[in-house]
Amino acid sequence: MTPADPDRIRADLPADLDPAEAERAVELGLRLSAARPLPDPNFRGELRRRLAGAEASGAVAPRRVRALAASYALAGLLLLAVAGIGVAGSGPFAA
């Protein structure tokens, strides 16, 4: 992990900020960046292996994506039908 760059921190600050306040914000950002803990090396290694494995295997099966897309489309059509029936003056929310 690389230490924070003061210029990058300054670029994120509002332009109308008082210069003294901006310097305090930069100092705070540098302190927070330096004190940021790193995850355990075992965790990072396991995460890397999982991500590399998911990337190599295609991560999400196309069948599952198709099923999810179809179920979302069906739910949307059902909601549109209920809304249309309500606008027509009948249905569960008709007065």
Supply the DSSP string of 11-53, one letter for each residue.
HHS-TTS-HHHHHHHHHHHHHHHHHPPPPPHHHHHHHHHHHHH
User: Residue 65: what pLDDT?
Assistant: 86
Number of Cα atoms under 13 Å in the Cβ half of residue 15: 0
Instruction: Report whether pLDDT(2) > 60.
Output: no
- 87 or 30, which is more confident: 30
Residue at 58 is within a domain = yes
Residue 89 DSSP label = T
User: Residue 1: what pLDDT?
Assistant: 44
Residue at 93 is within a domain = no
Is residue 31 domain-shared with residue 45, that is, in the same domain?
no
User: Residue 50: what pLDDT?
Assistant: 85
**The tokens of 35 are what?**
């004190």
Is residue 51 domain-shared with residue 82, that is, in the same domain?
yes
- Distance from C-alpha of 63 to C-alpha of 20, rounded to nearest angstrom: 57
pTM of the model: 0.43
Quote the domain boundaries for residue 83: 41-87
What are 28-66's pLDDT values in tens digits?
A: 999 998 888 889 999 999 988 888 876 666 556 677 888
Is residue 45 domain-shared with residue 20, that is, in the same domain?
no
